[in-house]
Structure 1
Amino acid sequence: MRKFNVIRILAFLMMALPLLATQSRAQGELSFNQLPQNVRQTIRSTQNACLEMDPDNKTNDDMSGVSFIDLDGSGGIDIILSSREICRWPVKGAGCSTGGCAFEIWKQTGDRKWGKVLEETEIANPWIAASDGKLQAIGLSTLQYSGRCDGRNGDGPKKVCNYILTRKNNKWEWIDLEKGLQPQRGR
């Protein structure tokens, strides 16, 4: 019965999310030079690795893979960085591996100050649902090698876990779609 409920929830989300998902926009946006140094360094090193492996694999936009959202309604400009999107296609060794690509979220903690609040390896483009620029939920798929995923579902060496993440009281709540809708607290 539980598996049936999870499947119904997934089916609903698959239908509803295209309507909910937006290009996340917070109160404002930053230029490349206004991004935190760590974020700029990640982008540059990923771009350089992509070019080194394939000279055609570079976008002309330094902000590829960067989007903005307000995690908690505070009006901050929080940063989402998806290594999968920095280059024209994902490349092993350029922010990606056979286990997926880096996905990071940086929370604005003060004037021109950010701290990393999420760092995961995702195996497919995460979906992000927002309303008026404020985060509602993130859908994230990871492999069993990504920490919290114990690989109990799927066949073969690459087992997948699917989560819905929400943020409450400055903490992530991880809802494991295989286990049902019971949140697991995280950082």
Structure 2
Amino acid sequence: MVNGDREIDEQAGRAARRKAFVALAIAALVIGALVYWRPSGLDLWIKAAHVIAVISWMAGLLYLPRLFIYHTDAPPGSDRSETFKVMEGRLLGVIMRPAMIATWLLGLWLAYSSFGFAAGWLWAKILAVVLLTGVHDRFARAVRSFAADERTHSARYWRLMNEVPTALMIVIVVLVIVKPF
């Protein structure tokens, strides 16, 4: 029965990846069409897509360490542990990674087209996003470790790590809205 369950999980995973790929392809086509035709409100469309990508990426950055907390307590090889592996892998690969890439590409477009990379606050924001990308990379390495049944950190560590994306998000939002320098 375990092999049957694994086969069903793999089919579901392939279907989820296919759906994510189709959604990304459609989004890329729409954005490409907008850039090509350059409608009068192009930057607003790009900004809307950027905000959607940021929200998706942040949702994953806030949820993934919660999964790690529960996964840390699950015995390696248990059904619960195997379920967390699937959840973590799909969250990272299907939602977080594409959202991070879209966030960067659209954000760089906006930084160039709207500010010419000339604003001081913008460089501080880019630094904070680089740090957020480092957190994303740290979480991606943890997904690989959990997939190999390695538990190198405690649940307490992951509770603390859960706060890092929130702190960086606050800095980024303040920089974008207040533009302190």
Q: TM-score, normalised by structure 1?
A: 0.25
Bigger radius of gyration: 2
| Bigger RCO of structures 1 and 2 (CA < 8 A, at least 6 apart) | 2
